[in-house]
Chain A
Amino acid sequence: MFETNKMIEQENLDVRTITMGISLLDCADTDLDVTCEKIYKKITTLAKNLVKTGEDIAKEFGVPIVNKRISITPISLVCGSCCKIPGDYVKVAKTLDKAAKEVGVNFLGGYSAIVSKGMTESDELLIRSIPMAMACTERICSSINVGSTKTGINMDAVRLMGDIIKDTAEQTKANDSLGCAKLVVLCNAPDDNPFMAGAFHGVSEADAIINVGVSGPGVVKYALEQMDKNAMAENGSNANFEVLCETIKKTAFKITRVGQLVAQEASKRLGIPFGIIDLSLAPTPAIGDSVADILKCIGVEHPGAPGTTAALAMLNDQVKKGGVMASSYVGGLSGAFIPVSEDQGMIDAVEAGALTIEKLEAMTCVCSVGLDMIAIPGDTPATTIAGIIADESAIGMVNQKTTAVRIIPVVGKSVGETVEFGGLLGYAPIMPVNTFSSERFVNRGGRIPAPIHSFKN
């Protein structure tokens, strides 16, 4: 019992987010104002008690629930018939922002389009409205799915996103290009992810659903430290991989149980069915709440040192194995997140010169998502950003996993400087980007076909 309370108080065990997925498909109308009104009404009605319920549960069980969030149907599907210019979409974004503030959630995700094979006119309008929408809203997160194992990669969309990311950075340059921290480009995006910025409520989902994201890198780190201390006392050496894996698995089990309990309670109290638990190790800038620190406990001096990718692969797998036992429905991203700015240990590794974008890219082959919260020089060309997105998407497409790119070309800053985003988003040193050009490649246009192993029918 004291173990549980110690995990909560000293090792940052928490439930990272309760995310309510809401389908807005029934809000579509040919009139923009009517659509906005319907959207606002549906969100504020269904999610009215979300924040209060989250707080009640946190109090009763004594476990912090850090975020309460909402994910919605990709908005390009809802507003196809009423938005004629990008400005119309901006109006929808403002409505969503108002609704998010009204119910008190800190982020609302789903200002999204799924264009993994082709773009409809509505998708393209939405994408073109992103820079403006990110500049004039606070709590809206946007995600664009540009590829999947089944469809290949839409290179037109990849190229366009290079420009959009640059433009979003420019539009929000007063806040160190903060808009880009709320914009993510995905490949193989899951329909039920509760974590921002990539959360949206997929079309395969029910009308409303509760998804829960658990966390707790600090707890895993502490368990590993204890394990090595015990092994050292017993036979004078560090624990071997068998013991290591077992320890991570057991800890992941306990963490996920808490998530499962919170999800079931929330679902019962809100009268909305339970969807999935996302078993991710999500770091925060708080000292000790770090995935990088776990990698260091496993035995690399800094993340980025040789061995890091193998350590991360093992960690990711053991987290899944332990978590799957603890919950009946596991989904979302489920794995270890390796955002740079949100993890003190990763920031240290970058500053020490141990971690580069190229190594991070290798790590994304085995972790749950991708290049996340990386600040790069503001003068990086849009085509280079598109090139990075294409690389990341290719990793996702070929390995049948979710990958994502959330990079921030910070306007006016260059390598060596740091950028401060505040809150959960943390701060980041600007990382150098390969300066050779990818212009000819990304400007070809068209799409990259699906890989051979996707033809399973």
Chain B
Amino acid sequence: MTRAIITVVGKDTVGIIAKVCTYLADNQINILDISQTIVQEFFNMMMIVDMTKSVKPFDVINDELAKIGADTGVQVKVQLEDIFNKMHRI
């Protein structure tokens, strides 16, 4: 399984989750876990997704999600989970 972490940070507006999730569904990316908070007016979301069946290659997903984020005024990042595991575990 290719697990990746999607982080979304930015000012809260209507439909952020909907847009990201629709995009993921359209591309056969399964959401495994999701956590979301709003700190003051700032939207903070973290998703763990399974990209094994993704219909598009990683870099395309990365660019397109970043674009969806930019259109909505938030920052969206997709990163393979390894970078987080490696950095904080011995």
Same complex for A and B? Answer yes
CA distance in complex: A60, B59 (Å): 7
Q: Given that A1-B5, A5-B7, A60-B79 are known contacts, is A258 also in contact with B86, CB under 8 Å in the complex? A: yes
Interface positions, chain A 39-65, Cβ under 8 Å from B, are 56, 59-63
Q: Given that A2-B7, A4-B83, A59-B59 are known contacts, is A254 also in contact with B77, CB under 8 Å in the complex? A: no
Judge whether A260 is part of the interface by a CB distance below 8 angstroms: yes
CA distance in complex: A429, B46 (Å): 47
Judge whether B64 is part of the interface by a CB distance below 8 angstroms: no
Other-chain residue from B59, B78, B80, B84 in contact with A4 (beta carbon distance below 8 A) = B84
Interface positions, chain A 202-255, Cβ under 8 Å from B, are 253-254
CA distance in complex: A261, B5 (Å): 16
Query: A369-390 vs B: 1/0 string, CB under 8 Å?
Result: 0000000000000000000000
**A261 touching B83 by the CB < 8 A rule?**
yes
Within the complex, the shortest CB–CB distance from B8 to chain A, in Å, comes to: 11
Residue tally, chain A, CB below 8 Å to B: 18
Main secondary structure of the interface of A (DSSP, over half): helix
Within the complex, the shortest CB–CB distance from A252 to chain B, in Å, comes to: 12
Query: B63-84 vs A: 1/0 string, CB under 8 Å?
Result: 0000000000000011110111
Chain B's interface size range is 10 to 19
Within the complex, the shortest CB–CB distance from A210 to chain B, in Å, comes to: 17
**A59 touching B62 by the CB < 8 A rule?**
yes
Query: B1-40 vs A: 1/0 string, CB under 8 Å?
Result: 0000101010000000000000000000000000000000
A-side contacts of B78, CB under 8 Å: 62
Query: A157-192 vs B: 1/0 string, CB under 8 Å?
Result: 000000000000000000000000000000000000
A/B pair count, beta carbons within 8 Å: 46
Residue from B7, B86, B90 with most neighbouring chain A CB atoms (10 Å): B86
**B86 touching A257 by the CB < 8 A rule?**
yes
CA distance in complex: A424, B89 (Å): 32
CA distance in complex: A5, B76 (Å): 11
CA distance in complex: A4, B86 (Å): 11
Within the complex, the shortest CB–CB distance from B88 to chain A, in Å, comes to: 7
Judge whether A349 is part of the interface by a CB distance below 8 angstroms: no
Closest to A63 in B: B83
A-side contacts of B80, CB under 8 Å: 60-61
Judge whether A272 is part of the interface by a CB distance below 8 angstroms: no
**A61 touching B77 by the CB < 8 A rule?**
no
Known A-B contacts: A5-B79, A257-B87, A325-B90. Give 20 more (CB < 8 A).
Answer: A1-B5, A2-B7, A3-B88, A4-B87, A56-B58, A56-B59, A59-B62, A60-B58, A60-B62, A60-B79, A60-B80, A61-B80, A61-B82, A62-B77, A63-B83, A253-B90, A258-B83, A258-B86, A260-B86, A261-B82
5 cross-chain CB contacts under 8 A: A3-B88, A60-B62, A60-B80, A253-B90, A260-B86
Report A's interface with B, CB cutoff 8 A.
1-5, 56, 59-63, 253-254, 257-258, 260-261, 325
Sorted from nearest, which 5 A-B pairs have the closest CB atoms?
A: A62-B79, A61-B83, A257-B86, A261-B86, A257-B87
